[in-house]
């Protein structure tokens, strides 16, 4: 059985998708972009500021669903430019100091709203 997870502490879906879906003890968080949920706008700054906002959005969804970063098993990081990888990785790594999840990182041609980073997450308890 699937359960839709939604919180106002993360950006709302801007299309036909949910912030997250929980099914059989697994939480699937849709790709999060660096939109501040309070303003509805992309945060100002560079890749570090954008990655920090993405991680805050993921944290809000995790909390709403009753999970933590320790429960994350897989992340997929999409970058507008691989030259931003090291800076993104620095911020991302600060959330996974112990037993980090499996991860893939890709450069893509374009991301929604012209952002520099989008991260999707799979979580298991």
CATH number at residue 47: 3.30.1330.40
pLDDT score of 14: 82
pLDDT score of 102: 98
Q: How far apart are CA 78 and CA 76, in angstroms?
A: 7
Domain carrying residue 88:
2-124
Q: How far apart are CA 72 and CA 92, in angstroms?
A: 12
Cβ atoms of 85 and 79 closer than 8 Å: yes
- Count of structural domains within the chain: 1
pLDDT in tens, 85-115: 999 999 999 999 999 999 999 999 999 999 9
The four Cα atoms 52, 118, 77, 5 give a dihedral, to 10 degrees, of 90
> Distances in Å between the alpha carbon of 114 and those of 24, 25, 111?
34, 33, 6
Cut 0.95: pTM above it: yes
């Amino acid at each position: 059985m699937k359960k839709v997870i939604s919180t106002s502490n993360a950006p709302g879906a801007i299309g036909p998708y949910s912030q997250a879906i929980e099914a059989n003890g697994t939480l699937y968080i849709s790709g999060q972009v660096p939109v501040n949920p309070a303003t509805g706008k992309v945060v100002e700054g560079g890749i570090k500021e954008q990655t920090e906002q993405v991680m805050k959005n993921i944290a809000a969804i995790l909390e709403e669903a009753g999970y933590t970063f320790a429960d994350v098993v897989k992340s997929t990081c999409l970058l507008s430019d691989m030259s931003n990888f090291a800076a993104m990785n620095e911020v991302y790594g600060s959330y996974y100091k112990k037993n980090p999840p499996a991860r893939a990182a890709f450069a893509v041609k374009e991301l929604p709203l012209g952002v520099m980073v989008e991260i999707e997450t799979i979580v298991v308890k």
